[in-house]
Amino acid sequence: MPIPDTRRFAHCFLTTLVCAVLGACSVAPTTHVSEPGSYSDMLADDERFSPSATYFVLDEPAQRQEIVLRAFDLLGVDYRWGGGDPESGLDCSGVATYLVEQVSGRKLPHHAATIAQVTRPIKRQELSPGDLVFFNTLGRRHSHMGVYIGNDRFIHAPAPGQKIRIERLDARYYTEHLDGLHSLVRPGN
């Protein structure tokens, strides 16, 4: 017996939705490393940087260091799409929102592209531990993110079935997909 058109549409829609959910915040592993500094001048200019814009900023610049310290406590936590709690799992934006809320008591949106909109874009040479790194992993800007911890490394929740881990920002995959660097502090802090 053929499936009625409405059931077929619902089936196709749900299948597409499941694929999108499972692919959210996912990244491909890589073993290739590019030359250090090859992306040193990129990004802030093409993100419509506006010195007069109002961005989400931490109350104290030192809170950025606290974010890094607490990020290490999340290593090994399971990835869970939409997750906002280490007990049940976190996704890529859940890592950032959880850390910022724990440190500052304030909430960021739980969506990588929205977090990019409300935080201040910076250039590569301004990147400091506790800043946010964004990637285009799904064919759209800022579809994945992590927390920069220094020494060309960041912590992120990579994909379903994986755990929060540290990656190299200068690895070929991340260099090629990097599309945003953002700070949680005011310029000069």
Residues known to be catalytic: 92, 144, 156
Neighbours of 35 (CB within 10 A): 8
- 22, 97, 99, 105, 147 from 189: Cα distances, Å: 38, 21, 19, 20, 17
User: What's the rounded Cα separation, in Å, for the pair 120 and 32?
Assistant: 30
Cβ-contact 146, 182 below 8 angstroms: no
Six-digit token string for 33: 């490393």
User: What's the rounded Cα separation, in Å, for the pair 34 and 54?
Assistant: 35
